[in-house]
Amino acid sequence: MRSSLVAAELKQLDNILLVAHASPDGDTIGSTCALFGALKALGKRACMACDSPVPAVYEFLPFAREMCIGADKLPFKPDCIVAVDCADLQRLGSFQAVFTRVTHTINIDHHITNPGFADNSWIEPDASSTGALIYDLIGALGVSLNYELALCVFVAISTDTGHFAYSNTTPETFAVAAKLTEYGLDMPSITDRLYRSRSFSRTRLLGLILSRVELLMEGAISVSYVTREELNTYGGAPDMEGMIELIRDIDSVETAVFLREKEKEVIKVSLRSKRDFDVGAFAARFGGGGHQRAAGCTIAGQLADVKEELLKQLHEAMEACAKARASQDNSSTERSV
């Protein structure tokens, strides 16, 4: 198994830097914290880092507050860097330069668009989450699970499967989750923290984003956005995770788009789909990537211009997808006659 190969390499190394992807979600934070805890249990010198702050919703996780924010905050010069849940090198943010200079690089991920940018790339697109891979890796390292590691892995898996609701949830996913709960996890508390609690400022921002949702292509596309100025008005840069799911959940929608102005003329685009359309392949057009049902990219330009061009290309791509599907359906019907 690839977990054994990665474990063997990590056991031989020290001064290990674990990097979570920029604009972090629960999978990258939970997975990074879990692997950090496992390496510390082995007596390794390790640290965690991210180009963005840990979202408040995940600050309760063990080790989360030990995350270094920015490449200038590292406590030591790493000999090995592990990219955790990073679909491409750009997701490392300011740590790209550090990554290219170290002797040993490892990439642990489950995104189908991942090109395998490390010396040792362990990529399993069929895995429910990177957290599921970290669960296997902890076992391969010979580290015994405990409450802290189980909590981190559970949050990684739960958040990346939509709390076990998305199509990447398998019988194995439930089996691993069941095993993790044996370590004393308080499920009502975890559920409340992750899915049933938000700040007043985030609630107000959510209202703004929902108030400007547009439906296009006879309701098949939903789109909304937020500017830098608006983010500052609502308390800086609150966690955006979960915003696009609410836009996607409109009954007629096949594909949802959410645009966030990160910096001047730098637009972060999140994409979600329900059934047929591959947003991962579409995001790759703009240098991004992800999964078939969830993906993203970053595009340079004015918000209005990026929105217009993106929606134009999305409309054309979805029409082409619909025509191809109709053609396949017709061919299947003809063969069955």
CB 87 within 8 A of CB 21: yes
Question: Is the pLDDT confidence value at 332 over 60?
Answer: no
Mean pLDDT of 178-189: 97
Q: Specify the range with the lowest mean pLDDT, choosing from 42-51, 251-260, 288-297.
A: 288-297
Q: Among residues of the chain, what percentage have pLDDT more than 90?
A: 77
Give the type of residue at 278. D
- pLDDT, residue 23, reads 87
**Residue from 239, 86, 238, 249 nearest 162 by CA:** 249
**Cα 289–chain centre separation:** 11
E-strand ranges in 206-336 read 214-216, 221-226, 255-263, 266-273, 289-290, 294-300
End-to-end CA distance of the chain: 46
- pLDDT, residue 179, reads 97
- pLDDT, residue 39, reads 98
Question: Is the pLDDT confidence value at 171 over 80?
Answer: yes
Mean pLDDT of 225-245: 81
Question: Is the pLDDT confidence value at 119 over 60?
Answer: yes
- pLDDT, residue 234, reads 81
pLDDT tier at 330 (50, 70, 90 boundaries)? Answer: low
Mean pLDDT of 29-39: 98
Average pLDDT, whole number, for the chain? 92
- pLDDT, residue 191, reads 95
pLDDT tier at 15 (50, 70, 90 boundaries)? Answer: very high
- pLDDT, residue 233, reads 87
Q: Specify the range with the lowest mean pLDDT, choosing from 83-92, 118-127, 230-239.
A: 230-239
**Cα 75–chain centre separation:** 26
Tell me how long the chain is: 337
Question: Is the pLDDT confidence value at 291 over 90?
Answer: no
Mean pLDDT of 287-303: 91
Show the domains of the chain with their CATH numbers: 2-195 (3.90.1640.10), 200-328 (3.10.310.30)
Q: What is the dihedral of CA 190, 195, 197, 202, to 10 degrees?
A: 140
Mean pLDDT of 78-97: 93
Q: What are phi and psi of 218, to 5 degrees?
A: 55, 35
C-alpha distances out from residue 81 to 18, 20, 311, Å: 6, 11, 37
Question: Is the pLDDT confidence value at 4 over 70?
Answer: yes
Helix (H, G, I), strand (E, B), or coil: what is residue 290?
A: strand
CB 153 within 8 A of CB 138: yes
Question: Is the pLDDT confidence value at 58 over 80?
Answer: yes
User: What is the bridge-based pairing of β-strands 294-300 and 266-273?
Assistant: antiparallel
- pLDDT, residue 202, reads 85
- pLDDT, residue 238, reads 53
User: What is the bridge-based pairing of β-strands 289-290 and 294-300?
Assistant: antiparallel
Q: Specify the range with the lowest mean pLDDT, choosing from 142-151, 180-189, 235-244.
A: 235-244
Q: How wide is the angle at C-alpha 332 spanned by C-alphas 327 and 334, nearest 5°?
A: 95
